[in-house]
Chains A and B, each alone.
Chain A
C-alpha cells in the first residue's frame, strides 16, 4: 500500500541549531500514528514542516504520492492536511456552526450577488450533519463555544476538519488540559476518524494515550527519529528509554 504521507530525509535548521535531522517517516490511510518525544525533541518543528508553517531545508514531503511544497498553512489545508493546535483556532464568542464555517461561510445571494447574507439555516443543518456523522451530540448549536467544555470544543474543531474533507489530521496534544472522561471522549473520536479512513498524527507525551489509540508510533530525540514501532510490540518502559535518549535504533 502506498503511504498517504511520506517524509524523506527531512532536515530543518534554525541558525546553527538543527531542530529536525534527516527524519524519514510514512503515514498510511486508516492508521493513528503517535509522534512521541520530550520537550525540544523536534516534534512541533517536524509537524510545522508538514502543515506548511515552516519550510524544510532539506529532504522532501510526498502527499498522495506527489512531491509537495507548502509555502503557507493554507496550502496544506487546501490539500486536505488539517492541523488542530492546542488553542483549536476557534472563536469562543461564536456558536458552533459559525465556528465550523468560519472563513468559509455559506451565503444567500440577492440581486445577482450584490447583497449576500449568511445562510444560517443551511450552515446549522450542515453542522448538525457533520457532528452527527461523528456521533457528537450538543444540546444546542447556537450557544457560544465559550459555554462548552474543553472536550466539546475539541470535538467542534475535529468536526470542522472532517466537514472540510480532511485527508490527514494532525492533532497537537489533544487531551492536554482535559478531565479524564473528556480525554476518553476525544480518544474515542480519534478512533472514529481512523475508522473512516482518515489517518491521524497524534503529537503527545502522554503514553496512556499512545497505548489507547495509536497503531504505530515514532519517537524523536534531539531532532532525530530514534525509534519506530508498532504499539503492540513495545511497552512503556522501552518508550521512556527512547524518549530520554538511553536507547537509539538509528545509531
Chain B
C-alpha cells in the first residue's frame, strides 16, 4: 500500500525542539553565567575557567552515575528509588573492604580493586533483589525500591556503625583526586601528563588539574552506557519493554530477566558512585548518597527520559546533569542564596516534562485526526 507521510507541518519542528532544547538551554545558561558572573564580581571572577569547569565536572559525577542507571530503568518503564542509599552502602562497603585487606598486607592498588568489587557486589545484590521482586512478584517498582531503600539505609548505617568509615590507607586520596593532565599557566609552566608536577609556591596557584580520575571513570561509564543503550540488543529490548511491555512479551523477549538486569545495572552505577566517593574523601559514608537521589531523577527528567517509559537517551541525561551542575555552580558564584537553587531546578524539571508532554499531545492528536 502507498503511504503518505503522516507528520504534519506542526509536528516536525516540535519534535525537533523537544529533542534539542536541553542543549539550547545548557548553552544559554553557560552564556548567561559567562556574561553575568564577571559583572557581579567587578571582573575579578570568571565562570568558564579551566578550574571552574573541572569543578563542575567533579561535582556532577555522582549525580550523573546515579542518573545513568536510572536512565535505563526509567526507559524500561520502571523507577529505582533505592540508588541513593545503595550508593551509601557501596561507599561503606568499599571503605571497609579496602581498610581490611590493606591492613592484612595487600598492596594499595589491589586493595582498591577489591574495594570496587565489594561496592559492586553489595550494590548488585540489592539491585538483583529489587529486580526479582518487581519482575517475578509483580510488585510496582515504586513500592519495591522505596521499601528496599529503607532496608539498604539500615544495612549501610549498621555496617558503618553510624559513623564515617575512616582509617583508610593514605595513598587512596590520590586515586580519587588526582587528574590525567596538569596545566600550569604562565612562566615556568606547561602541560604535565599523568603526574602531578612537583612544584611549590606560585606555580601551584597557577596549576589546574584537568580531567580528574573520577571524571575519567565516569566518562568511560557514559561511553559504555551509550553503547549499551543505543547499539545493542539489550538497549533495543529496554526501549521495547518501556514502549510496550505487552508487545515485548509477545515477541518473545525475556522480559522478566531483562527487568532484573535493569535493576542490577542501576544499582551497579550507584555502586561505582559510592566507590568513587570513598576514593575522593578517603572515607566511607552512609549518608553520602541519599541527597543525590532526587537530583539524579531530576537530571534524567530534564534530559528527556520519559517517566512513562520507552523514550530517552544517555546523552540527554548527561546534559540534564550538566544543566543542574551549571545552574548550581553559577548561582553560587553570583552569591545567590543557596535555597534558590532548589527553586530554579524544580521549575526546570517541571518545564522539561511540560515540553515532552506537549510534544506527545500533538503527535497523538495528529494520529487521532488521521484514523478518523
Q: Which of A94, A150, A185, A188 contacts B240 (CB 8 A)?
A: A94
In the complex, what's the smallest C-beta–C-beta distance from B12 to chain A, in angstroms?
10
Closest to B7 in A: A147
B363 contacts which chain A residues (CB < 8 A)?
146-147
Residues 242-253 of B, flagged 1 when their CB comes within 8 A of A and 0 if not, give 111011101111
Q: Is the beta-carbon distance between A105 and B233 smaller than 8 angstroms?
A: yes
Least Cβ–Cβ distance between A38 and chain B, in angstroms: 25
Is A71 engaged at the interface, CB distance under 8 Å to the other chain? no
The stretch of A132-140, A198-206, A209-217 in contact with B is A132-140
Ordered by A's residue number, 7 sampled pairs between the chains whose C-beta atoms are within 8 Å are A89-B244, A102-B253, A104-B251, A105-B233, A135-B1, A148-B3, A182-B371
Chain B residue numbers with a CB within 8 Å of A91 are 239-240, 243-244, 247-248, 310
Query: What mask results when residues 356 to 372 of chain B are scored 1 for a CB within 8 Å of chain A, else 0?
Result: 00000001000100111
Distance, CA A75 to CA B237, complexed state (A): 21
Write the chain A residue with the least CB distance to B309: A93
Shortest distance from the beta carbon of B358 to any chain A beta carbon, whole Å:
15
The reply on A152 being an interface residue by CB < 8 A is yes
A151 contacts which chain B residues (CB < 8 A)?
1
Contacts of B236 in A (CB 8 A): 94, 98, 102, 105, 118
- Interface residues in A2-39 (C-beta closer than 8 Å to B): none
Residues of A within 8 A of B7 (CB): 143, 147
Is B318 close to A, CB under 8 A? no
Known: A93-B310, A98-B236. 7 other contacts (CB 8 A): A77-B252, A89-B251, A91-B244, A93-B239, A103-B253, A105-B233, A140-B5
For A89, list chain B residues within 8 Å (CB): 244, 246-247, 250-251
CB-based nearest A residue for B230? A118
Question: Interface 1/0s, chain A 145-188, versus B by CB < 8 A?
Answer: 01111111001000000000000000000000111001001001
Q: Which residues of B contact A103 (CB under 8 A)?
A: 237, 240, 248, 251-253
Report how far A220 CA is from B236 CA in the complex, Å.
Answer: 41
Residues of B within 8 A of A143 (CB): 7
- Whether B371 contacts A149 by the Cβ 8 Å rule is yes
Closest to A182 in B: B371
Contact indicator A118/B3 (Cβ below 8 Å): no
Task: For the complex, count residues of A whose C-beta is within 8 A of B.
Answer: 43
Which residues of B pack against A, CB within 8 Å?
Answer: 1-7, 11, 227, 231-233, 236-237, 239-240, 242-244, 246-248, 250-253, 310-311, 363, 367, 370-372
Q: Is the CB of B6 within 8 A of A147?
A: yes
Within 8 Å of chain B (Cβ to Cβ): is A229? no
Q: Which 3 residue pairs across A and B have the least CB separation, nearest first?
A: A93-B243, A103-B251, A93-B310
Closest to A186 in B: B1
Query: In the complex, how many angstroms separate the beta carbon of B261 from the nearest chain A beta carbon?
Result: 15
Q: Residues on A close to B: CB < 8 A?
A: 73-74, 77, 85, 87-94, 98, 102-105, 107, 116-118, 135-140, 143, 146-152, 155, 177-179, 182, 185, 188-189
Question: What is the bound-complex CA distance between A178 and B1, given in angstroms?
Answer: 14
Within 8 Å by CB of B231, from A87, A90, A94, A118, lies A118
B244 touches A137 (CB 8 A): no
- Across the interface, do A137 and B3 meet the contact criterion of CB distance under 8 Å? yes
- Which of B1, B247, B311, B371 is close to A90, meaning CB atoms less than 8 Å apart? B247
Given contacts A91-B247, A150-B371, contact A117 B311 (CB under 8 A): no
CA A179 to CA B6, docked complex, whole Å: 14
The residue from A74, A87, A177 contacting B252, defined by CB atoms under 8 A apart = A74
**Distance, CA A71 to CA B1, complexed state (A):** 36
A74 to B254, CA, bound (A): 12
Contacts of B233 in A (CB 8 A): 105, 107, 116, 118
Task: Return chain B residues, CB-CB under 8 Å to A105.
Answer: 233, 236
- Name which residue of chain A comes closest to B310, CB basis: A93
Which residues does chain B contribute within 8 Å of A104, judged by CB atoms? 251-252
How near does chain B come to A121, taking the closest CB pair, in angstroms?
A: 13
CA distance A104 to B252 in the complex (A): 8
Closest chain B CB from A184 CB (angstroms)? 9
**Residue among A85, A88, A139 making CB contact with B3, cutoff 8 Å:** A139
Identify the interface centre among A73, A102, A143, A146: most chain B CB within 10 Å of its CB.
A102
Known: A93-B310, A102-B251, A149-B370. A117 touches B3 (CB 8 A): no
Is there contact, CB below 8 Å, between B231 and A178? no
Q: How far is the CB of B179 from chain A (nearest CB, A)?
A: 30
Contacts of B248 in A (CB 8 A): 91, 102-103
Name the A residues within 8 Å of B247 (CB-CB).
Answer: 87-91, 102
* Complex: A223 Cα to B191 Cα, angstroms: 83
Q: Are B371 and A152 in contact (CB under 8 A)?
A: no
> How far is it, in angstroms, between the C-alpha of A90 and the C-alpha of B243 when the chains are bound?
9
State the Cβ distance, A165 to closest chain B Cβ, in Å.
Answer: 15
Within the assembled complex, what's the spacing in Å between the Cα atoms of A119 and B236? 12
A43 to chain B, nearest CB (A): 19
Cα-based distance from A74 to B251 in the complex (angstroms) = 8
**With A and B bound together, what is the CA distance between A105 and B252 in angstroms?**
11
Query: Nearest chain-B residue to A77 (Cβ)?
Result: B252
Bound state CA distance, A46 and B205, in angstroms? 81
- Expressed in whole angstroms, the Cα–Cα distance for A178 and B367 within the complex equals 12
Between A77, A94, A104, A182, the greatest number of chain B beta carbons within 10 A of the residue's beta carbon is seen for A94
Question: Would A188 and B1 count as touching, CB distance under 8 A?
Answer: yes
Chain A residues with CB under 8 A of B242: 93
Interface contact A117-B231, CB-CB below 8 Å: yes
Alpha-carbon distance between A201 and B237 when the two chains are bound, in angstroms: 30
